[in-house]
Amino acid sequence: MKKIIVCCLSLLIFVVGCGKDVANTEYIKYLRENGNAEEEIQRLIEYERNNKYLPKGGYVDVTRRTVKEVAKDMGITLDEYLAEYDLPADLPPLVSETEANYTVPVSKMAQVYGMDYEELKSLYNFPDTIDQSTPWGYAIGEARIVDVVGDDDAVNKLKERYNLPDYVNGNTLWKEVREIVDTKKQANRETTSKIIDE
């Protein structure tokens, strides 16, 4: 069951962190280079500055898609998408897919995986500071790596695949390695995309 969930996490990139004061400058630069309206970009920046769960500097934009693009690709409106995943109704349309997924409440994530909240909390050994309304990324960030990937063998494979520092072990919290992992996922996706385009 845990391996299935880890696989889904890799594909859907569901996660959230804590406390930040500056928007993700790389993502903002990407939005401007791709002709998005400055008014919408400023709305995004303001939203992120007031989101206490975001890590400093924001999340790595793994998929290069905005939440409004995701909704369009699904054939639904943005409002329908936000309601489907219990996301804030005022979530700006330019929020990245990664950040939107990371904002899904733990209770909703449990439903996505066919569990109840207590089952998911037990599976990842979440601390008592996590409750049903906690954003998924913040919650998973507080989990130990071994509880995220499954066992010590999987931890070693993760370290090798993403060239994680020597100090990282099963008891290291996921939030301490997430940026490294997501940055390499982003690079891999972009490399794959270039190969396909060529």
pLDDT digits (tens, 9 = 90+) for 135-146: 999 999 999 999
Residue 24 has pLDDT above 80, yes or no: no
Q: Taking the mean position of all CA atoms in its chain, how far away is CA 3?
A: 18
Confidence (pLDDT) at 187:
86
Residue 164, by phi and psi: left (phi above 0), alpha (psi -120 to 50) or beta? Answer: beta
* pLDDT tens, residue by residue, 133-179: 999 999 999 999 999 999 999 999 999 999 999 999 999 999 999 99
pTM, full prediction: 0.77
